[in-house]
Structure 1
């Protein structure tokens, strides 16, 4: 059953079914690439909760999970470029294969910083999986090994993505109407 479009959205970009199908494809690639390796999934709070849960359930290899909260956003719609760790990992990454799981790559500044930070902690490898990427918004080149979808440079919500902590629980990704955030 298709979800009804929220009235604050201009358009649904990626349906729930499309997202689940793509995550299943990515899970197969991850299973193959990390078979026999000690894989730690690192979810970036809060946005990656939905992606991480759905992706982890589709994997067949054993994994452990941990969470970080980093911030480069205020309450607005643009990245500030300044990264702060709000919640660090509980797990030591030294010698482990780390897969950072993200909801969206916007400027790439935060993710680039995070990947370097985890590598500097002695991880055996650091790779990135992201449900979405706004290629047009990139300020730095980020090597995304597992990508769900490239999307246009619009302000999107749903499937973990929010505006002022709203819309995260929508089961799809949609373009937020400008009238909502230009009030």
Structure 2
């Protein structure tokens, strides 16, 4: 397990990080997502779930741009259980908070990296009777290790295949609150 980081180490990570997307870039991506989502589901009385923890920042910023009636819920699912490699079993830290049977469901998350956990969340929503399940991510990490079973319906922006943080994505638990999207130096 990693040693706890000091304040100085965390400040150093930010000072050395490469800024990949500015706060203005993030805002433009959120506006784009809001337009696309509104065009697709504004007449469906959807339930919108942000996946904790990473999707919290993105969901909070995006929901205020969706100017139509929706029901908002939250969920926290993981496949990691404290490990660095995921298992195939989905573990609910907080199960979906709003019933989804017969509903259009929109899942919001910070990043589409490999997509294995998100794919399991989508399957779980279908199993709970959702009429349709759509996915939206702020960031799509560009590489060829994607779960091919998962299709992302709405993507805010692409980033290169690096260790990124900010806008909900973390560096060892920290910097989710950074307004832009950064890459750790050398990673």
Task: Identify whether the pair has TM-score above 0.5, normalized to the shorter chain.
Answer: yes
Alpha-carbon separation, structure 1, partners of 2:185 and 2:105: 36
Does residue 1:177 correspond to 2:185, yes or no?
A: yes
| Matched residue, 1:6 | 14
Q: Shift of the alpha carbon at 1:72?
A: 3.1
Q: Shift of the alpha carbon at 1:21?
A: 1.0
Which consecutive unaligned segments of at least 5 residues does structure 1 have? none
Q: Residues 83-162 of structure 1: matches in 2 within 5 Å?
A: 83-136=90-143, 138-141=145-148, 142-162=150-170
Runs of 4+ displaced beyond 6 Å: none
Deviation per residue, 1:14-50 (Å, 9 max, x gap) = 1111111111121111111112212111100011111
Deviation per residue, 1:98-152 (Å, 9 max, x gap) = 0000000111110111101101111011010000112315341221111011211
Greater strand fraction, Structure 1 or Structure 2: 1
Q: Verify the 8 A CA contact 2:74 2:96 in the aligned structure 1.
A: yes
| Matched residue, 1:68 | 75
**RMSD after superposition:** 2.0
Alpha-carbon separation, structure 1, partners of 2:146 and 2:162: 16
* Partner secondary structure for residue 143 of structure 2: helix
Q: Shift of the alpha carbon at 1:92?
A: 0.7
| Matched residue, 2:3 | none
| TM-score of the superposed pair, with normalisation by structure 2 | 0.85
Q: Verify the 8 A CA contact 1:137 1:153 in the aligned structure 2.
A: no
Alpha-carbon separation, structure 1, partners of 2:86 and 2:30: 29
Alpha-carbon separation, structure 1, partners of 2:186 and 2:65: 35
Pick aligned residue for 1:80 from 81, 86, 92 = 86
Deviates more, 1:133-142 or 1:18-27: 133-142
Q: Shift of the alpha carbon at 1:8?
A: 4.3
- Equivalenced residue count is 173
Q: Verify the 8 A CA contact 2:77 2:94 in the aligned structure 1.
A: yes
Deviates more, 1:124-133 or 1:64-73: 64-73
